[in-house]
Amino acid sequence: MTTLTRAVGAAVGRVEGVAKVTGQARYAGEFRLDRLAYGWVAQSTIARGRVRAVDVEAAGRLPGVLAVITHDNALRLRDSGDPELLLLQSDRVHYRGQVVALIVASTLEQARAAAEALVVDYKLEPHDVVLSADHPKLFAPDHVNPNFATDTSTGDVEAGLGAAEVVIDATYSTPAEHNNPMEPHATTAYWDGDRLIVHDSNQGVTSVKQSLVRLFGLDDGAVQVLSEHVGGGFGAKGTARPPVVLASMAARLLRRPVRVTLSRQQMFSLVGYRTPTIQRVRLGADRTGRLLALDHLAYSQTSTVLEFAEQTAVVSRVMYAAPNLRTRHRLVTLDVPTPRWMRAPGEAPGAFALESAMDELAEACGVDPVELRVRNEPLVEPESGRAFSSRSLVGCLRDGAARFGWSDRDPRPGARRDGRWLVGTGVASSTYPARSAPSTAAVTAQPDGTFVVRIAAADIGTGARTALTQVAADELRAPMQRVRTLIGDSDFGPAMIAGGSMGTASWSWAVVKACRELTTLIEQGGLPAGGLTVRAATGDDIKAQADLVRHTFGAQFAEVWVDPDTGEVRVPRLLGVFAAGRIVNAMTARSQLIGGMTWGLSMALFEESVLDPQFGDYVNHDLAGYHVAACADVRSIEAYWIDEPDDQLNPSGVKGIGEVGIVGTAAAIANAVWHATGRRIRDLPIRPDRLLA
C-alpha cells in the first residue's frame, strides 16, 4: 500500500501547459474547417440616430465578398433576455461603434477591406455621453448587480455624522476602463444540419449555449458550444458577445462555416467595459477613529440598450463597523456602449473610494491606517447583522504589516526621500464575495484504472482545469496523472461560468460530489467491466447552505516613489496577504493574486478610456493609447495567504481568488502617494499632470 500525497494545496503546473506552449492547444479562432468564410464587423460612426441606407451593392462587388448582412436581410432573432445580442435587428443606433453590418468574405483581409469601405448613410440625432453627478436624468435603478438592493440604510447616517468629532467628506472618481484579455473575442461557427456548433472564446459555455438556443429558437440539444482554451476574459467574455451571434447567423445564411473575430479596437465598443464612477464618501468618527457613520453614494452610467447597474457601493456594506451606515447608487442612461463586468466589478472602483477615505480618516485622527481598520473590525456584517462564515481581515492586516515592515513607518507625509524620489507607503483592505453556483459534473472510472472528469467549466488562463484535476484526484485517491479533466463543452451539462470568483468553488463542489458517489459505488459493487460513470448536480446543496455572509478578505501594502518634478510615480513594491479559505494550487493561486494586484497597479496609474464627447467614442481604443501595466512598470509583487479553515463554503473549502487581488490595490497606491507627497489624488488614474497640478 502506497501513501498518496494530497494534490490539493500543492504548487502544480498547468496540466495543459505543454499543449499551450507547443501550439497544440487550439483557440476559438484557430479551428480549420472546409469552406470557412470570414466575417468582419462594420461599426456605426455616429453615437445616436438611425441607419438610413447601407450601400450593400458597392460592398458586394468588392473582391471575395460573399454577403453583406444588415438589419434589412439579417436573420430575425428572438429575445434571449440580453438586448445587446439582438444584433442587426433594427435601424436604431444606440452608440458609436455598434454593429451596423457584417461583411462575410472568402478571406479575413477581404472581409475587413469591404467593411472599411462600406458606406452607411445615417440620420443623426444629438447624443448625450457624459456622466456627471448632477446629470438631470440620474435615477435609482431597481437593483444593482447582480441582485443587491440599490440603497441600504441602517441607523441614522446624518445623526451619526452630526455627532462625530472627525468628519471626512470627499468625492472620488474612477474612469471608464476596458478589459484587454490577450485573446480577442473569436468564434468559429458551423451548422451540422440543424445543429449549431460553435468554437467560442468565453468564460462559460452554458450561458452562451442558452443564449444561442433562445436567439435562434432552437431545441436545447441543437446547440453545442466548445471553449477548450481561452486567452483571458475578466468579465468581457462572461456571456455571449456579438461574435458568436454574428458567426452563427452568417453560417446559417451562407450554409458554410463562418469565423468572426474582433480586433483590439473593436473590443473597445462591443464587449463591455468598466463604467466610470463618481463616488462621494462621508465618514464620521470619534477622535480615536471609531466610525459613527459611513455614507457611500455612487454614480455610474449605463446604455440605452440595457440597464447595467454597477454595484459600486456594496463594498461599504461589508467592511467596517459603522452603527449608522448608508449606501446608495444612482445611474444615468447615456448614448454609450453598455458597460459590463470587469474584474471585481463594483468592489474594485468602490474600494478605491472607501479605502482612500479610510486613509484620510486615519490622517485626520492621527491613527495608524492599519490600526484604524483593526479598530473598526465588525463582528457581523455591518449592513445586515448576519454572521460571516469566516473573516480574517485583521489577520491579513497584521501579517501583511509584519511582512512589509510597516512598524518602521514615519506617519508624516513627505518625510522620506531617496535621492530625487519622494518615498511613501500605503495600505488598503481587499474583499470580494465568496459564492457558489449550481453546476453539474460527470466522473468516469475507466477499466484501465484511470478517471475522466467532465464538466462545462472554463479555464480562461487561471489554472481551473488543473485545480479541478487536483480536487478530483484527492477524492478518487488517485495520482493526478490518472485523472483527465475535460472542460469547455456544453454537452457536459450546465455549469457556472468562470466569473464572480465562483468558478473553482462551484465546479469543485460538483466534481467532489460525483467523485464521492462514484467511489462509494465502486466500494460497494466493484468496477463493472465497461467502467462506470456518475453524474452529480449541486443545485439542492447550494440551496441548503446556511444563511451566512461569505467573503474573501485581504490587505495590500504599497511602496511608491514619486518624482516631484515630473510627477512620475513608480511602485517598487506591492505586498498582499489574503484569506480565501483553502488554496487548491499554490502556484496558480499566486499567479491569480499577483495578476489582480498588477492590474490594480495598472488601474492606479495608467488605465483610462478617454471619451470624446463630440463623437461619443472612447478614442484611445488600442494598446498604444490605452496603457496596461507592462513588465517595466512592475517591480516586486508578493502575494501570501493565511490558512483559513471554513466548513461553511463548499466541500473543498475554497472562497475564490480571481478578483480579490485587484480590490484595494489602487487605494493602497494612492494612499502611498499621499504619504510620499502630501498630495491626495482622488481621481484615477494618478497621472503626472494630476500630481503636478
* Minimum distance of ligand MOS from residue 183's CB (angstroms): 14
Pairing of strands 166-174, 277-285: antiparallel
Which of 268/557 has CB closer to ligand MOS?
Answer: 268
- When CB distances to ligand MOS are compared, the closest residue is 235
Which of 423/593 has CB closer to ligand MOS?
Answer: 593
Which of 31/341 has CB closer to ligand MOS?
Answer: 341
Which of 292/298 has CB closer to ligand MOS?
Answer: 298
* Minimum distance of ligand MOS from residue 502's CB (angstroms): 8
Residue 407 grid cell: 512598524
659 belongs to the catalytic site: yes
Q: Which residues bind ligand MOS (CB under 6 A)?
A: 203, 233-235, 238, 341-343, 345, 499-500
* Minimum distance of ligand MOS from residue 32's CB (angstroms): 29
* Minimum distance of ligand MOS from residue 595's CB (angstroms): 13
Pairing of strands 416-418, 324-334: unpaired
The answer to whether 35 and 104 have CB atoms below 8 angstroms apart is no
Which of 310/474 has CB closer to ligand MOS?
Answer: 310
Angle of the 205-215 helix axis to the 242-254 helix axis, nearest 10:
50
- Annotate 649-685 with DSSP letters as a single string: S-TT-B---TTGGGTTHHHHHHHHHHHHHS----BSS
Which of 235/284 has CB closer to ligand MOS?
Answer: 235
CA distance readout (Å), 570 to 116, 632, 635, 641, 680: 41, 10, 9, 25, 16
* Minimum distance of ligand MOS from residue 142's CB (angstroms): 21
Q: Which residues pair with 249 in a beta bridge?
A: none
- Annotate 250-283 with DSSP letters as a single string: HHHHHTS-EEEE--HHHHHHHS--BPPEEEEEEE
Scan for cell 513607518, then name that residue.
409
How many Cα atoms within 13 Å fall on the side-chain side of residue 206? Answer: 20
Exactly one of 183, 310, 607, 659 is catalytic; name it. 659
Query: Burial level of 126, CB count in 10 A (0-12/13-18/19+)?
Result: exposed
Name 138's Cβ contacts closer than 8 Å, sequence gap at least 6. Answer: 299, 330, 331, 332
* Minimum distance of ligand MOS from residue 148's CB (angstroms): 14
Residue 414 grid cell: 513627505
Which of 175/616 has CB closer to ligand MOS?
Answer: 175
How many Cα atoms within 13 Å fall on the side-chain side of residue 332? Answer: 20
**Residue numbers annotated as active site:** 659
